[in-house]
């Protein structure tokens, strides 16, 4: 079975078990996961789908994720939406309610809504990490990935001064996990964005037919707040794995 076919299989499919088992064996032997005795089926699937079920590449991605968490405790150990609620209420960020034509999640960041006098770049980066942890649990997002709209209107020197060399390195290491294709839109972005996203996907202010920016930002803020408990558990777990044994349980039940 080829990678695209594997990606489309249900999480509990028995055909995925050999790949998950191979990745688990390799990961638990790695020094980055010393002290971790188990890794769940659902957690490992995220990395396998991200690398088309190439176990070696999935292991590299998983260990990069572990090293990043270890080296960035000021970001990864505090995943509380309540701690950045003021920033979220400035309509800074949203995951749009509709996926694009390929099934990808569409994220929106409005840099001008971030006041660098009130919020540090580390707090801003935590917002991105929280969203990433939430949507990475979605099977469809694991299969179809995501796209990001960065609205840089309002970017100023105050923002730039917040991004220290150390933080810049950490951001670049996250970007290294993916292979982004960047498209720059000018002041006529309301027209050019429609070349990439259908009108129902985009908010009204971006030339679309979807809900307003305020509505989509408030909706995602509520989603993050509802995920507070999950995010706190991710931050506290040594590997960031909080999936229960439900997948293994389903497999065992199918065999009975």
DSSP per-residue string spanning 134-164: HHTT-HHHHHH-EEEEEE-TT--HHHHHHS-
Which pLDDT value is given to residue 249?
42
Domains of the chain: 6-71 (1.10.8.20), 76-233 (3.40.525.10)
DSSP per-residue string spanning 74-122: HHHT---GGGGHHHHTTT-EEE-SS--TTS-EEEEEEGGG--TTTS-HH
Which pLDDT value is given to residue 254?
47
User: What is the phi-psi region of residue 240: left when phi exceeds 0, alpha when psi lies from -120 to 50, beta otherwise?
Assistant: left
**Interval 67-96 mean pLDDT:** 94
The pTM of this model reads 0.88
User: For the segment 181-192, what is each residue's pLDDT rounded down to a tens digit?
Assistant: 877 787 777 788
What is the rounded distance in angstroms from the CA atom of residue 92 to the CA atom of residue 108?
A: 8
What is the rounded distance in angstroms from the CA atom of residue 181 to the CA atom of residue 37?
A: 37
CB atoms within 10 A of CB 30: 13
Return phi, psi of residue 95, to 5°. -105, 120
Evaluate if residue 179 carries a pLDDT over 60: no
What is the SS3 assignment for 62?
helix
What is the rounded distance in angstroms from the CA atom of residue 47 to the CA atom of residue 61?
A: 7
What is the rounded distance in angstroms from the CA atom of residue 133 to the CA atom of residue 43?
A: 11
Q: Which residues contact 223 (CB under 8 A, 6 or more apart)?
A: 95, 134
User: For the segment 53-68, what is each residue's pLDDT rounded down to a tens digit?
Assistant: 999 999 999 999 999 9
């Amino acid at each position: 079975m080829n990678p695209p076919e594997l990606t489309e299989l249900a999480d509990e499919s028995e055909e995925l078990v050999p790949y998950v088992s191979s990745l688990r064996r390799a990961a638990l032997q790695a020094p980055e996961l010393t002290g971790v005795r188990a890794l769940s089926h659902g957690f490992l699937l995220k990395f396998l789908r991200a690398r088309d079920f190439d176990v070696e590449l999935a292991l590299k991605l998983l260990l990069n994720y572990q090293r990043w968490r270890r080296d960035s405790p000021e970001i990864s150990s505090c995943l509380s939406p309540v701690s950045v609620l003021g920033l979220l209420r400035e309509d800074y960020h949203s995951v749009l309610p509709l996926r694009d034509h390929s099934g990808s999640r569409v994220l929106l960041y409005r840099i001008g809504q971030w006041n660098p006098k009130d919020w540090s770049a580390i707090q801003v980066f935590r917002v991105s990490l929280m969203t990433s942890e939430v949507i990475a649990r979605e099977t469809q997002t694991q299969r179809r990935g995501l796209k990001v709209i960065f609205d840089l209107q309002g970017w100023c020197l105050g923002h730039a001064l917040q991004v220290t060399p150390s933080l810049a390195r950490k951001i670049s290491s996250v970007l290294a996990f993916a292979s982004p294709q960047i498209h720059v839109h000018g002041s006529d972005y309301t027209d050019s964005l429609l070349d990439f996203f259908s009108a129902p996907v985009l908010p009204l202010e971006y030339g679309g037919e979807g809900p307003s920016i305020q509505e989509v930002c408030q909706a995602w803020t509520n989603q993050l707040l509802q995920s507070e408990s999950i995010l706190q558990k991710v931050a506290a777990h040594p590997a960031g794995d909080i999936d229960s044994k439900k997948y293994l349980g389903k497999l065992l039940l199918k065999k009975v």
